A and B are shown apart, each in its own frame.
Chain A
Amino acid sequence: MSGKKLSVLLVDDSRTVLLHLEKAIAASEEADLVGTARNGAEAIQKASELNPDLVIMDIVMPKMDGLAALRMLQAKQPEIRVVMLSSVGGTAPAAEEAFRLGALQVLSKPVDEEILAALLSQERERLASQSGS
């Protein structure tokens, strides 16, 4: 697909998860990684500076967790689409709360690269159809 790629901000306190997702995004033709953050507070600041199309963010993090950051992001920059990551994705309360707060999807860890690739592709198509309309 030609046209603008998705700009993505990654948020996770784990360096290994960031490495994994950076690699998956670099391999994708759909998205460009524009920044990373290690907690919710840093994510809010980076989202404000970088204005990404998509934020991929962990739920359990120190300082400010992902659900609190999602709530703030939805209030400040509702146009940004947010996908949550969770090792506790299977616990319905965490996933349900993420959806209630406006998450696009909750991906269970470890993230399946094929599922992530499909999601990036779908979001890029949505972005292209929006800019075309």
Chain B
Amino acid sequence: MGIKFFGQFLIENGVVDSDQIRAALKLMEEENRSLGTLAEAGGILTAEEAAKVNAQQRTCDVPFGELAVEMGLLSEEQVEYLLGFQEQTRLRIGQALVRQGALANDRLLELLVQFENEQALFRIGNVDLPEGLESNLLAATVLDLLPKLLVRVASIGVRVGKGQAAADAPDLPVRTAVAVTGDVGLLICLLGNEEFSLQLAGATAGLDESRLEAARQNVALLTDGVGEFLNVLAGNAMGVLERKQITTELAPPQCDPELDSGYLFDLAVSVGKAALYLKPL
């Protein structure tokens, strides 16, 4: 149900196996050119300048283009042009499989349509964000995905209220968060009462009625289950951003995070009580 890499989808549907995916990835590595190589081939950088940026890159975790701008070797417009060119000419996994004879081109087109339809859930619409959070694309993605995933994973209907800046959050017993860092950062905290958390954790763990009842008093298990849902929510939001070339990383869930200088969204849920707290990082 989650957002997928096209290769996963192809294996799931028995179209190719993992050896064929590995061979295709190897071909992509060989053929897809780095930003430095493209800049050099286009005569925008000399070999010495590209080597200088590469050497500097070994000491810091900054993308080639950004570093070249910082070093005064490329302009922001040149980097934007190179990134666009790199994206347009990039060999993708489906084309690599066609080139290797693992897949016919007509079949690839059919499968791409099928894949896009299956992944329609992850097309993000317009989301109304409070002032101060409006430029955070991750927050917009999380707010768009939260109702879709809550209903699919745990059959919980939800309407997301208007967000507002808040230095604290309601006193609900299960308070779990995950932190996403990188090109855009966000602490995503879901708060719930026992009833909401039980339904969500139970669905995440696939618990039946009897085991669900036993889990009612187990706050650690409820927190773990809500944390796992947050992993899925954050992971899928990261996948949406990754398709826009925005790179992020996910840390394991944390209980009872510090909530200050963030934004509170009331959630009208079909089961129990819940709220969402988002804090830019």
Residues of A with Cβ closer than 8 Å to B?
Answer: 13-17, 19-20, 23-24, 60-62, 86-93, 95-96, 99-100, 102-110, 112-113, 115
Contact = CB atoms under 8 A, between A and B. Distances in A.
Nearest to B232: A87
Contacts of B236: 87, 90
B185 interface: no
B235 A86 contact: yes
A70 to B, nearest CB: 12
A13 B224 CA distance: 9
A89 B5 contact: yes
A16 B225 contact: yes
Interface in B2-22: 2-5, 7-8, 11-12, 18, 21-22
A110 B232 contact: yes
| Dominant secondary structure of chain B at its interface with chain A | helix
A52 to B, nearest CB: 18
B113 interface: no
Nearest to B228: A14
B2 A96 contact: no
Interface string B204-218: 111100010000000
B1 A105 contact: no
B123 to A, nearest CB: 13
A104 to B, nearest CB: 5
Contacts of B122: 90
Contacts of A115: 12
A106 B201 contact: no
A89 B3 contact: yes
A89 B2 contact: yes
A67 to B, nearest CB: 12
B252 A90 contact: no
B250 A104 contact: no
Nearest to B253: A14
A50 B251 CA distance: 29
Contacts of B207: 19
B22 A99 contact: yes
A109 B8 contact: no
- Can you list the 5 inter-chain pairs with the closest CB atoms, starting with the nearest? A90-B239, A90-B3, A87-B235, A108-B2, A16-B205
